[in-house]
Structure 1
Amino acid sequence: MQITDSSSLHLPKENLEARDFLPLLGTDYIELYVGNAKQAAHYYMSAWGFQPLAYAGLETGLKDRTSYVVQQDKIRLVLTSPLKPGGEINRHIEAHGDGVKVIALWVDNADKSYRETTARGADIYFAPKTLKDDHGKVVLSGIHTYGETVHVFVERKDYRGIFMPGYKAWKPFYAPPKTGLRYVDHIVGNVGWHEMDKWCQFYAEVMGFAQLVSFDDKDISTEYTALMSKVMSNGNGRIKFPINEPADGRKKSQIEEYIEFYNGAGVQHMAMATDNIIETVTNLRNRGVEFLTVPSSYYENVLDRVGEIDEDLAPLSKLGILIDRDDEGYLLQIFTKPILDRPTMFIEIIQRKGAKSFGKGNFKALFEAIEREQEARGTL
């Protein structure tokens, strides 16, 4: 389980411009609405190494939905499906396909987080409520953000159960080994034309975030497509939300493709951190996870650009792992192909060796790889 006693936490303020009036302690869980939660849980366990944690459904008294919770180190995914026709979950899946509904944020006081954000203009998802069982209590509250995505504030300092009230431990016989994923590094949202600044302002004014970095169409462009992006972060740097919007290009950008198939704004990808990207990506590939590839020519002069690194270049080149450097170190990163039937959500694997940036030097190679996939789909 994730640390829940915030009284002993040392939370240095990495983003000095952020006001941090909530404050946020970390990512508590990410909930996806999916067509078949049992099969989705099997996928994240088999392909990604997540471990079974908790379950809620008919056996726990739920009549309208079922949820499986899987966890790997500090990353928790909640996979939820409807049990009956109609209702909000079915409508969401019909509109968007499988996708992220809830980005849950770990806080010390869910009531205070609700009052602070709604007083600053956040639309209410639900007012504070307390869930109790024999293991204690969890307090939840929620607000809306871009598209149909929501933030749920989770206060769990008085809870010692497996996940939260309403869930029971899930211990199936099948539990494949982990793959080395450790925590959520960042979560990227795609929004529509000219909406990026609006949502960056939302995170600044409603949640006390500050902008870490911005990229314009000169930074993120190829011969055919472009996009704009700004990265918003809370004060301790544990929560980082890049926000992307389309930019004018000769052909349809990946952001436009996403919005078309997702039917609106939503979470484009989750970036999951590892301490050994070569080992993690090797494990994932062996389990069937498909990654974007870059031409071998990328590696011919990459060390001239990024300088000396600890890793041998040969396995990085074999796996297609990208390298970039900033003033504080370097990072290694790789991106999957879309993991759903619709060309919407994907996952990034990242290992930071001091760097706090997001791989600006890799943008051109990455986006050309995405365009090759778009061309194969006939959506470029």
Structure 2
Amino acid sequence: MDIGAVDHVEFYVGDAQQSAFFLCTAFGFRLCGQAGPETGLPDQRSLLLRQGGISLVLTSALTPEHPAAAYVALHGDGVANIAFEVTDAAKAFETAVERGATVVEELAVHGRDGNEVVTASVLGFGDVAHRFVQRTGDRDDFLPGVMDIFAPDPDEAEQVLSTVDHAAICLPAGQLRDTVAFYEKVFGFSEIFEEFIEVGTQAMDSKVVQSPSGQVTFTLIEPVTDRDPGQIDGFLARHGGAGVQHLALLSDDIVAAVGTLESRGVRFLETPDTYYSELEKRLGSPELKISDLRRTNVLVDQDHWGQVFQIFTQSLHVRRTFFWEVIDRHGARTFGSGNIKALYEAVAREKTTA
């Protein structure tokens, strides 16, 4: 199965216009298109946001029958579909179904002015689906014949984010191994990293799976049930089952990106000063100045290939479930061994002080 990068991520939300306003104002996304009753979709409103190579689709239900209505009622706003670029959507769809995937959306062909997009979806984890997307012609015509595309915005905000780096996914206890096996069997992913994380009396298991192209990466996390309940258990309870805890967006300059995003109103998790005081003992000299990392609360870790710099936003979700990550890779292909624990501790601090 020839899976390339993440084509787009679709969120089901209660109010697409309100969500788009926040993402455009705070994160610098640009509103590029819309679909709804006027384009032949009577039961939904979808807005397309773009920045760099990132495409987000925000979909709100206009009738109780649309799946976004049930999703938002169960989970609140959240990720409903992580779409994959493929060279042959029909073949990818057929192969996935033959390997045991459940059909969510049948094969569909959309065309206009010589541009064509072929799509089909199968179920991934929980109730989150994966859409295979095959594009021919002008890629800016996101869904030809279905979505109206707007003219470029002459006052486009500075773009500090480039691509979707990975998604972090919380799973109920006991589902981690089966989910890894499912992605290996159905989509041809490989396990590239694993870690058992202990924080006080809490613990969780984490495994990372990645597509053969290296462009689609999922961090899968489950709680350990013989320890005290922790933030993963909290996510599962508040979200109502498995789901995307955060999306990581790649930046080429994380220090500058944090400054820009904070100036627009984005708020990030804070890191204790002791983290930076002990940093050189743990990792040696990082490639970015420790003073800059301390000032911006950016975390740093390393693997065999290089260093990775990360920071996580505070959650603005009403249930305190979904949040965003900004990541900057200096050669690192995975996540090192310290930042997941640091994130776990930072999120725990935020919840106790909220």
- Select the residue among 327, 332, 348 that pairs with 1:350: 327
Q: Does 1:201 align with 2:178?
A: no
Q: In structure 1, what is the equivalent of residue 281 of structure 2?
A: 304
Alignment of 1:145-224 (within 5 A): 145-165=124-144, 166-171=146-151, 177-216=157-196, 220-224=197-201
Distance 1:222 1:303 in 2: 22
| TM-score w.r.t. length of structure 1 | 0.89
Task: Give the match for residue 327 of structure 1.
Answer: 304
1:289 aligns with 2:266: yes
Per-residue deviation at 1:210?
Answer: 0.9
1:111 is the counterpart of 2:74:
no
Identity percentage over the alignment?
35
Return the TM-score normalized by structure 2: 0.95
In structure 2, which of residues 9, 13, 33 is the aligned counterpart of residue 30 of structure 1? 9
Unaligned runs of 5+ in 2: none
- Corresponding residue to 2:212 among 228, 231, 235: 235
2:256 matches 1:279: yes
Cα distance in 1 for partners of 2:169, 2:320 equals 15
Tell me if the contact between 1:306 and 1:330 (Cα under 8 Å) persists in the aligned partners.
Answer: no
Matches within 5 A, 1:233-272: 233-248=210-225, 250-272=227-249
Residues 292 and 335 of structure 1 are in contact (CA less than 8 Å); yes or no, is this contact kept in structure 2?
yes
Q: Determine the C-alpha separation between the residues in 2 that align with 1:299 and 1:190.
A: 28
- CA-to-aligned-CA distance 1:268-295 (integer Å, 9 cap, x gap): 1111110000010111111111111111
Distance in 2, matches of 1:250 and 1:109, equals 45
* Closer, same or farther: CA 261–251 of 1 in aligned 2, 3 Å: same
Distance in 1 (CA, whole Å) between partners of 2:283 and 2:200 is 24
Matched with 1:75 is: 54
Closer/same/farther in 2, CA of residues 41 and 326 from structure 1, 3 Å limit: same
Please report how far the alpha carbon of residue 208 of structure 1 lies from its aligned counterpart in structure 2 after TM superposition.
0.8
Structure 2 counterpart of 1:58, from 19, 28, 37: 37
What is the deviation of 1:162? 2.3
Question: Could you tell me which amino acid in structure 1 is paired with residue 48 of structure 2?
Answer: V
Q: Secondary structure at the match of 1:81?
A: strand
What amino acid does structure 2 have at the position aligned with 1:51?
R
Looking at structure 2, the residues matched to 172 and 37 of structure 1 have their Cα atoms a distance apart, in angstroms, of 20
**Distance in structure 2 (CA, Å) of the matches to 1:175 and 1:370:** 35
User: Quick one: higher RCO (CA 8 Å, sep 6+), 1 or 2?
Assistant: 1
Q: How many residues align?
A: 353
- 2:185 partner letter: E
For residues 177 and 119 of structure 1, do their structure 2 counterparts lie closer, same or farther at Cα, with a shift above 3 Å needed? same
Secondary structure of 2:292's match? helix
Offset of residue 86 of structure 1: 4.3
Give a deviation string over 1:37-58, Cα, whole Å, max 9, x none. 0111111110101112111123
- Structure 1 SS opposite 2:104: strand
Residues in 1 aligned to 2:152 and 2:305: alpha-carbon distance in whole angstroms? 43
Q: In structure 1, list runs of 5 or more residues that go unmatched.
A: 1-21
Alpha-carbon distance change, 171 to 46 in structure 1, aligned in 2, over 3 angstroms: farther
Q: 1:99 and 1:272 mapped to 2: Cα distance?
A: 16
Q: SS of the residue aligned with 2:287?
A: coil
1:249: Cα distance to partner? 6.1
Residue 70 of structure 2 is matched in structure 1 by 91
Shift of 1:173: 6.7
- The CA RMSD measured in Å over matched residues stands at 1.7
The answer to whether the Cα contact below 8 Å between 1:29 and 1:75 also exists between their aligned partners in 2 is yes
CA apart distance, 1:79: 0.4
The range that moved more, 162-171 or 99-108, is: 162-171
Question: Is the 8 Å Cα contact of residues 270 and 346 (structure 2) preserved in structure 1?
Answer: yes
